[in-house]
Amino acid sequence: MNLLDACIDQGVKRVVSLSTDKASSPCNLYGATKLVSDKLFIASNNYTGSQDTRFSVVRYGNVMGSRGSVIPFFMQEAEKGVLPITDPRMTRFMITLEQAVDLVWIAFNDMVGGEIYVKKIPSMNILDIASAISEKVRIEIVGIRPGEKLHEQMIGLEDAPYTYEYDDYYKILPAIHSWSKDPARIKNGKIVSADFIYASDNNPIKMSAAELHRWVMDKKGLIGKI
């Protein structure tokens, strides 16, 4: 709220919040705080007064190779000869730093205010991620941790009536003030089906272990430093 108030007071034109898949149907406190942040950024478009300040949100999961992603963790554990896997069914979205930054620029150039942008990105099974890191190590199933999802979700069923599809991304429009019906916000988007859910297990775009392995070899010096 301090940031939102300061941006309005200082007349900042465009503000984009970096959100996460955990904000969609959150199952832990961290996800709940991200959802609250998303809601505040959307609702703040009501309170800009005479200022031209506009707020929107971009939503994606862990950036590939970042300190918070599983890739540097697996690389470290692989040196011990064992990779701990919580659940062999687990799937995760995969996004590069370049794709994440590109989504922010899309939001800046497209936003009217209150939109949530979700990039179309591939997903992978956790065993394929492990295989891309090393095929020689032993896999140990350790069980899913409290507050951890089996599959990541970017767009939930409750957002389907307000979600539009574009070539490279989805856009969730605000339900307030009928903004989800606003042609200026919709532009050339196509409304998704009423039962639409965008999650890592039903994602039609997949990344293979071979593709991830090539990426890891190319970016090896940067992994864990982002």
Catalytic residue among 13, 22, 39, 120: 22
How far apart, in whole angstroms, are the C-alpha atoms of residue 83 and residue 138? Answer: 6
Closest by alpha carbon to 197, among 159, 167, 171? 159
What are the C-alpha distances in Å from 212 to residues 2, 88, 133, 144? 40, 18, 8, 23
CB 114 within 8 A of CB 71: no
Helices 70-78 and 126-133: crossing angle in degrees, nearest 10, is 50
Residue 85 neighbours by CB distance under 10 Å: 19
- What SS3 class is residue 78? helix
Whether 80 is catalytic is no
How far apart, in whole angstroms, are the C-alpha atoms of residue 193 and residue 199? Answer: 15
How far apart, in whole angstroms, are the C-alpha atoms of residue 115 and residue 99? Answer: 18
Q: Which residues are catalytic?
A: 22
